[in-house]
Chain A
């Protein structure tokens, strides 16, 4: 027995089953990411000036990843169009490129962007000691240009060592490096981990959740790429519908990243 409206549209909605279902699912995904973005925005707006990290993400790499995802959105819709025009080879190539772009995005994120965070640290200087670190913070320049003050000195973990001696702790420069930060002057120090600040906590949460969505999309596409020929030979329109529905999910993932990139990397 054939499940009705797998390929043909229902007369009342004008949609086939999977398209109805995926749009309802995407509506729930909007609520998921919307809640997280909302929390980030209001945390950002309520942050004390100078304490919200800025300029710590690699903009060229983020822009490159954005272009990769946009290109993959183009190729997945071209893959669907190829199926509608019954061009299997063209579909196969476009879907392969889509999968490659998705994997490239994940590799860049997990092998470069995130690990780079883990080997850098930030030290928040107490407000009453800020003047001592003017060479590092540059608050006179910030004030002259109407910008927020800076309280955080950041650096590479390999350049410093943390010494503990009973009650006293020191962030000490390694041999050949400059800078000595007595613990009395430090409000908080951490590597760029989720615990560093609300900014990084939200950054890792949203980009991690987004990355999981990218991985899920890649897995689904890989299945259609490797095992789709049988369905295509049996019912090409059904195969085209499946690719369209998976493509809708992929476009949504791209859409989320279109907001993630400026919010976290640029603003």
Chain B
């Protein structure tokens, strides 16, 4: 089903007849080439292809016009004949909706059926709906065509052009007519985009319309490990700005944002008694000790973003109020993540530290686009504080986040520093890139191999700081028993089917600075395979859930994005059954490079089989050109993991 994400609008709930009778004058002629087309030249075998797509964004008169012509190439492609247009009651209204089917012989069947309103969500404040229609008489070789207008009934930001779709677009024409004056300060139309090279929005003779013509756009492939973002593929998004967008003006925009935010911060971070009390109570001598004490204090505040009541009614009942300043936060003991980080800044400053709030875009949501003057990108407040000669980025609002460490989505993130207007420091900030050492999970198995091929013994897991933090956050609202179950399920997934796992103990759930660790008793039936006189032990029995990405040979289009770099460190000791000795085992595997490393080694240690495995992957973002190397690396890792040791029964 094709949902036009760009479409919004409203029709009354009743069914609306279409203007099928007028279709001849509304749609242009279908060309013989379009009728004759049998396959998508850009993607042979595709189910359908967009022959023509146009969007006219008339910001001046408050509407957008869409026109789409799709050729159905396979029976599966008929799904593109079911059309859904998103609209919003009282904000964007669908008008002038016309549709038709062109049969393979060139004759037209106007759409005269019913259009349904499918409610996405509605409450007292309004409704978001899909206008839904099924095109008639569609067969392979047909062309479905529809056009409609979305008229603004209330303010709604300019809609983006979504140029790349799940099927190829052979011909596209996009035009925008700019508003005269969006507001007193925002008068110039600007745009940010992801487009093929040399694509230009040409200014027309009227001096106020720009046109982009772009043909032969292949589909945007869905690829694992693609960077996050709300608009994948080629697109253009519009915004109004007080001047033309240049390097200078965009810097000026973010400087303006920084100043505005600074005013808000300063208003919140007022010097008052509460701060004095906390700072006076510090007993630590060293600067770092004092800063850590303040950090711990801030961490003990309740973060309403993921703790405390979940509904507005509960907040009302519990008299949870909006904090107006640091004093409120300290008195009430709670706040949003932003409140808590601002409070920490206030405390740090009072204690003599140079501290300020920075705002970045969470990498969970997307990458910060400097050239997009939209301050809603800045969704994550952090703290930057000077300790000695270096700057630290901290996030005391995140429960259990160790001092000097950041959750993965805030690390290697970009944004701006909320600066004093007189400051000459740079506005833009990037938080430190994470290193694999901050996400190193160690597993130690001590097992006994039985003659029936089963393994039994203990497993000790120590999660890296990043993995510990993520698990602690997942478990914020979980009871102790469910936390245990969460870890048991995780271990079960890593072991062969039928494994029995019992949790013996955990530590570090509530300690930010210590790793989360757990001990298990495990029993793994049927791991070793008997070949008659021998037992063969696979060395990768504890990697059932291991991901070996990039096995496909397709050409990579999108960059590669890892949430965070990581390490896997396994140490396995296996006692042999009585009467068996190690006869042979696989050679060691070693791979190393600047950003990746892998080692697997089997050895005999005091009559036991010892296996050491190490994997390291650095970095978070790579260009598509790196794909073949990553593919080869993970293929070699998979190959390296697929190793054995052979035990021979002694006579």
A-B interaction: no
- Chain B interfacial positions (CB closer than 8 Å to A): none
